[in-house]
Amino acid sequence: MPSFPGSVWSPTTKNTDEVIQAAHINDLQDEVVAIQAGYINGTAPLVSSRITAPPPDCVVAYRDSTFTIGADLSSTITFNAQRFATNSSMHSTTTNTDRITPQTTGLYLIQGQVQIIADTNGSRTLSLVDSSGLNLALAGFGVSPVAGAGIAINVSAFKRYDVTGGFCRMVFSQTQTSTLSLTSGATQFGMAKLV
């Protein structure tokens, strides 16, 4: 009976001039077959390759009240609530509420969404901006008003943080003569470490 995948096989030590028994080779064959079958059938993955859920650095922040954008302005959106946070140092609902700060180096997925309560003429953009001022992603469009309709804009990006201390913000811009209000709850911002 092979040891794999439950434990590591510990064969007996062989000495020079010792006769190798058929059982020794059969035990080795059993281990090789068990390893191959485990990987081919997906029944014995490496422990180190298993994905942990949720990731060690992950947060989703949101607005629990409306957020108003002035006419012809760009505004960095602040987030005063969290759906969850696996690392509380990534976002604060009271200090620097406009940013998410990764706590370790690695590749991160960053996503944002705004929903406009009632749309009016004009164009608008939503961007993810890192601490150096670089636009990681940009989404936007110009529309005619739809009575009573809410328009949602989504944006996402990947960013590799090679050193700690950087952060990301979500910026909303509009070119129209009236103010816009963003829907509470649906306006959200998240970051998750992938590797």
96 shares a domain with 183 = yes
79 shares a domain with 44 = no
Got the DSSP string for 79-135? Answer: --EEEEESSTTS--SSSSTTEE--SSSEEEEEEEEEEESS--SEEEEEEEEETTS-E
66 shares a domain with 5 = no
82 shares a domain with 8 = no
Are the CB atoms for 137 and 159 separated by under 8 Å?
Answer: no
Q: In terms of pTM, does the model score above 0.85?
A: no
Backbone angles phi, psi at 133, to 5 degrees: 95, 0
Could you report the per-residue pLDDT of 117-128, keeping only the tens digit for each?
876 677 889 999
79 shares a domain with 41 = no
Mean pLDDT of 99-111: 95
| Cα separation, 85 vs 64, whole angstroms | 16
Looking at the 3D structure of the chain, how many domains does it have? 2
128 shares a domain with 63 = yes
Confidence of residue 102 (pLDDT cuts 50, 70, 90): very high
Confidence of residue 51 (pLDDT cuts 50, 70, 90): low
Could you report the per-residue pLDDT of 132-162, keeping only the tens digit for each?
999 999 998 776 555 555 678 899 999 999 9
147 shares a domain with 86 = yes
1 shares a domain with 81 = no
CATH of the domain at 69: 2.60.120.40
Mean pLDDT of 177-189: 86
63 shares a domain with 45 = no
What is the reported pLDDT for 27? 87
113 shares a domain with 36 = no
Q: 8 or 153: which carries more pLDDT confidence? A: 153
Task: Tell which residue, 102, 74, 65, has the closest CA to residue 181.
Answer: 65
Mean pLDDT of 9-16: 83
What is the reported pLDDT for 152? 84
Residue 70 belongs to what domain range?
58-193
Q: 117: how many CB neighbours lie within 10 A of its CB?
A: 16
Q: 97 or 43: which carries more pLDDT confidence? A: 97
63 shares a domain with 46 = no
